[in-house]
A = this chain, B = another copy of it.
Amino acid sequence: MAKINPNYRKLSAGYLFPEIARRVREYTTAHPDVTIYRLGIGNTTEALTPTVLQGLHDRVDALGVRETYTGYGDEQGEADLRAAIAAYYAARGVTLDPGEIFVSDGAKADAANVQNLFAQESVMAIQNPAYPVYVDSNVVAGRTGEYDAESGSYAGLRLLDGTPDNGWFAPPPQRAQDEVDVVYLCSPNNPTGAVATRQQLTEWVAYARQHRAVIIFDAAYAEFIADPELPRSIYEIEGARECAIELTSLSKFSGFTGVRLGWAVVPFALRAEDSEEGELNRMWNRRQSTFFNGASNIAQSGAAAALSEAGQAESRELVAYYMENARIIRSALRELGLDVVGGDNAPYLWVKTPHGPDGQPLGSWEFFDQLLHEAGVVVTPGSGFGPAGEGYVRFSAFGHREDIEAAVRSIRERLKL
């Protein structure tokens, strides 16, 4: 008699974004004439750029001719793309072997699957707030107990609480009883828009090396970093390749959210307490060869084009476009007296909820509802990213300029602060 994996039942509520969609649908059904401005999901809106389009079309053409048709490729990615990714890192001073790079269909899948490399009893430490996939994948994998609505977390998970004081990056644990085995860090962070400083990452790398912990470093938003002092890859920190896996994506840099292309870096030097030399790299290779059959070859050619000199220049224009959106939102919200961080090195703005009529700060979902009902603006409640996000909402800077401007106008004119 088949029985189900009971861990699915532990998952709290729905996934965050379906719940947002439900509330928006409910509201628009009741108010069909209201214009809705979507600054919730971090979804790209601008067209793919000419160099990428050419790369995609060229590959489709090649697939239409038997002499240039290709079927299954290497699960790890096509050799030219892996070389292009290595060159992309090299231009930033980070030397990687193509054998350390694993092309995937995006950072979300890698972020969810990477936990499978580690022992079931591992103590997983996850930034709070953070992208929900880190937590949810570990719940499904059975590494947690039940959800506790009071604390907003799951038994057995270690949350690393971000606060305004620590710049939304908690320092490594100090006490022996707080020791952790695997640490998820996302910088630039989704949702807070905060970027870990060189000093903060250096402390984490030192901790990981000392305690043989492994850092999962999600750098999906690295290209939004404008400040040259801020690290864009964890491998800019000395010793990181012994203790860190990096996940990256072209989703936000080159508009590949729908095309699907990302990669994981699993260095040969990466070590766990009980691993042999290069074993984690070989394990990820085995996982990808067994559970994955390579990213779409068309997407891979698009990615190679995106990483060409011309492609990168065009992608940087896309980033600049979204960052101007962020500037527009930030300055408007600050003019209204709201407390805003992020949006300078990341496409997300992290906004403290204002005080309600009772003089207390609104909850995340309360401010979400207020923005929706008064201004027709959809944001993402900070509490959806973890308990430390309570009292905040996330504004996404992805959108057409005219929609961003209209949303900002609607907030200025209609939001009752």
- List A residues at the B interface (Cβ < 8 Å): 1-6, 8, 11, 15, 18, 41, 43-48, 50, 53, 56-57, 60-61, 63-66, 69-73, 105-106, 108-109, 112-113, 116-122, 133, 136-137, 140, 142, 179, 181-182, 211-214, 251, 255, 257-260, 272-275, 279-280, 283, 286-287, 289-299, 398, 400
Q: List 19 A-B contacts (CB under 8 A).
A: A1-B213, A2-B119, A3-B121, A3-B122, A5-B116, A5-B119, A6-B119, A8-B283, A8-B286, A45-B66, A46-B69, A57-B60, A71-B255, A105-B293, A108-B292, A112-B290, A112-B291, A137-B291, A260-B295
When distances are taken between beta carbons in the complex, the residues of chain B under 8 Å from A295 are 105, 260, 296
B259 touches A296 (CB 8 A): yes
When distances are taken between beta carbons in the complex, the residues of chain B under 8 Å from A64 are 47-48, 50, 53
B119 touches A3 (CB 8 A): yes
A72 touches B257 (CB 8 A): yes
A71 touches B44 (CB 8 A): yes
When distances are taken between beta carbons in the complex, the residues of chain B under 8 Å from A73 are 258
Report the nearest B residue to A115, measured CB to CB: B5
A273 touches B63 (CB 8 A): no
When distances are taken between beta carbons in the complex, the residues of chain B under 8 Å from A259 are 63, 296-298
A114 to chain B, nearest CB (A): 11
| Complex Cα–Cα for A106 and B2 (A) | 25
